[in-house]
């Protein structure tokens, strides 16, 4: 009996592998996710270049306390399925991430930005491009008002951007706040304190 089981398993595996191409041929093809499915049209100037789309992200989330943000403008910058991913530490020190859709970001962070005031600015960046994709490391600082003498937070945003042939899209923003063991690298600060 023991000699028969491996043979049966091998035969079953061969059969499954042989059937896989047939199933793949019979399954209807999945349509690609097309960025132009976005329901919110973008302002052309916001999506014309890497510089423009990154500046638009920082601009749309920034504003004084009590000022509503233009969330439709924010939506227009992101591909369908885009993610915004904050990172942090639990009280015991273990790391965590929290992937949000654009709508979850608006629901979870939007009210706080509008209630408390929030201004985030880019301090410096490094970018790598291959074809139509860009990975951009963008150092930032955050203040409650433009008059604040010092930021309440600093860190690095990791942007993944895509050019569809006519405009730029944000695919992911993944960020980590600066901490005692993770200072912002000097080459991202462009000489700013």
Spatial separation of the C-alpha atoms in residues 160 and 174, rounded to whole Å:
8
The pair of structure tokens assigned to 63 is: 């504003």
Q: Using CB atoms within 10 A of its CB, is residue 173 exposed (0-12), middle (13-18) or buried (19+)?
A: buried
The residue ranges of every structural domain in the chain are 37-188
Q: What is the pLDDT along the chain (193 residues), one digit of tens a residue?
A: 444 344 444 444 344 444 445 444 555 565 554 444 457 899 999 999 999 999 999 999 999 999 999 999 999 999 999 999 999 887 777 889 999 999 999 999 999 999 999 999 999 999 999 999 999 999 999 999 999 999 999 999 999 999 999 999 999 999 999 998 899 999 998 755 4
Per residue in 155-185, pLDDT tens? 999 999 999 999 999 999 999 999 988 999 9
157 near 175, Cβ under 8 Å?
A: yes
Q: Using CB atoms within 10 A of its CB, is residue 33 exposed (0-12), middle (13-18) or buried (19+)?
A: exposed
Q: Phi-psi region for residue 143, left (φ > 0), alpha (ψ -120 to 50) or beta?
A: beta
The CATH code of domain 37-188 reads 3.10.450.50
Handedness of CA 115, 155, 145, 64 (dihedral sign): negative
The residues that bridge with 128 in the sheet, in sequence order, are 135
114 near 70, Cβ under 8 Å?
A: no
pTM for the structure as a whole: 0.79
């Amino acid at each position: 009996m023991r000699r028969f089981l491996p043979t049966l398993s091998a035969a079953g595996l061969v059969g499954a592998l042989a059937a896989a191409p047939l199933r793949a041929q019979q399954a209807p093809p999945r349509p690609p996710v097309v960025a132009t499915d976005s329901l919110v049209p973008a302002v052309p100037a916001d999506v014309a270049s890497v510089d423009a789309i990154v500046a638009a992200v920082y601009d749309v989330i920034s504003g004084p306390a009590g000022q509503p943000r233009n969330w439709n403008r924010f939506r227009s910058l992101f591909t369908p399925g885009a993610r915004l991913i904050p990172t942090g530490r639990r009280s015991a020190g273990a790391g965590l991430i929290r992937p949000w859709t654009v709508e979850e970001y608006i629901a979870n962070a939007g009210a706080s930005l509008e209630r408390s005031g929030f201004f985030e600015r880019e301090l410096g960046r490094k970018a790598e491009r291959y074809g139509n994709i860009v990975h951009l490391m963008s150092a930032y600082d955050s203040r409650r008002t433009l008059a604040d003498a010092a930021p309440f937070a600093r860190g690095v945003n990791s942007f993944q951007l895509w050019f569809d042939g006519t405009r730029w899209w944000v695919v992911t923003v993944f960020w980590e706040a600066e901490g005692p063991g993770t200072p912002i690298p000097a080459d991202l600060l462009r000489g700013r304190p």
